Structure 1
């Protein structure tokens, strides 16, 4: 393989290809590039839709009840006449957020297609796009940083190469404990995961 050839060449759209190349150092060359399969995140997408239906449905019900009460009460004077309508406005942002989550199957695949993975002769790189902007978080892993890497296989040959797990606490208990979620970082939902793992080990960990 020449220095201009690498696995996954010509598989990225021009704008993503340019983003990858702008990250490389002068003496750094690509070995492999790829992106996750959108169907890898189908479960999360469906769950997000259900959560959105609940988070948007409950506030919408509250707004509906509030409007019915306001209309039934008839016109009122002064501040007291505005209170029912002000009460109806409070849950409105949650309705919008719930609606956005409800239609996750429409926008989630596009977000996933913006994720980029790459292996160079010096490091493994993960580009994670922001949710509400064009910004990216770029994470790099050298051979030493991949010692705890593990693989999750699927029967169709796809899978995950997990480099690390980031724990995000969401609540704290009175005894000092925490609850939260773990965010996996790595090459998630890729085709031919075993071949990519072998290439990664031969390139950076030998």
Structure 2
């Protein structure tokens, strides 16, 4: 009964977003743990980043005689701290954000809803600041890839989004991000539903099985 009530709650949330005449075919949620596991590389990078920051800034502070004594403050700390005092906070902030990325993704998973209708695929994300709804129609769903685990759960990728990143060493580079339903139950059933609904535009990769 608890699961049934939860299904009705999810369907009601999606019902508020559908258009007149639009039919809901499937509603589900991502597995929060699966969402968090996607950011494990980022977590490991955060550990290395913070280790580097601790080493670098401890050396940097020592070079500028950053000690709590009044004499040091008068002699050498005031000028460099005025210019560079925010640097440690910025760099440590980046590292801390990398560390909490799994928790943030888990929170997003708990507050996210997936849906398939006869017209589009929906991703609904609810946060304390409001609600975000992203729709993917016929023109967006061009290839479907199923990544299934032994227990029947898995990821269903139906689009890829191109993004760019700039760095001082390598300049501007582009990369692709998978768009889909992650950590869903009975992923094979959802794949069949998507293929049947959008079969005119959808192709399957050779290794989708």
Short-chain TM bin: 0.7 to 0.9
1:47 partner SS: helix
CA RMSD of superposed structures (Å): 3.4
Q: 1:199 to 1:72 in 2, by over 3 A?
A: closer
For the Cα contact (< 8 Å) 2:28–2:115, is it kept in 1? yes
Is 1:95–2:95 an aligned residue pair?
A: no
Unaligned runs of 5+ in 1: 1-7
Normalising by the residue count of structure 2, what TM-score does the alignment of the two structures yield? Answer: 0.72
Whole-angstrom CA distance in 2 between matches of 1:90 and 1:123: 46
1:51 partner SS: helix
Whole-angstrom CA distance in 2 between matches of 1:13 and 1:47: 36
2:38 partner SS: helix
Is 1:138–2:139 an aligned residue pair?
A: no
Pairing 1:77-96 to 2, within 5 Å after superposition: 77=74, 81-86=77-82, 87-96=84-93
Q: 1:171 to 1:64 in 2, by over 3 A?
A: closer
For the Cα contact (< 8 Å) 1:159–1:192, is it kept in 2? yes
Q: 1:89 to 1:185 in 2, by over 3 A?
A: same
Q: 1:13 to 1:104 in 2, by over 3 A?
A: farther
Deviations 1:12-54 (A, max 9, x none): 695x655422211121221110111123334433222212222
Question: How many pairs align?
Answer: 192
For the Cα contact (< 8 Å) 1:129–1:135, is it kept in 2? yes
1:41 partner SS: helix
Where does residue 151 of structure 1 map in the other structure? Answer: 146
Normalising by the residue count of structure 1, what TM-score does the alignment of the two structures yield? Answer: 0.73
For the Cα contact (< 8 Å) 1:32–1:118, is it kept in 2? yes
1:36 to 15, 18, 30: 30
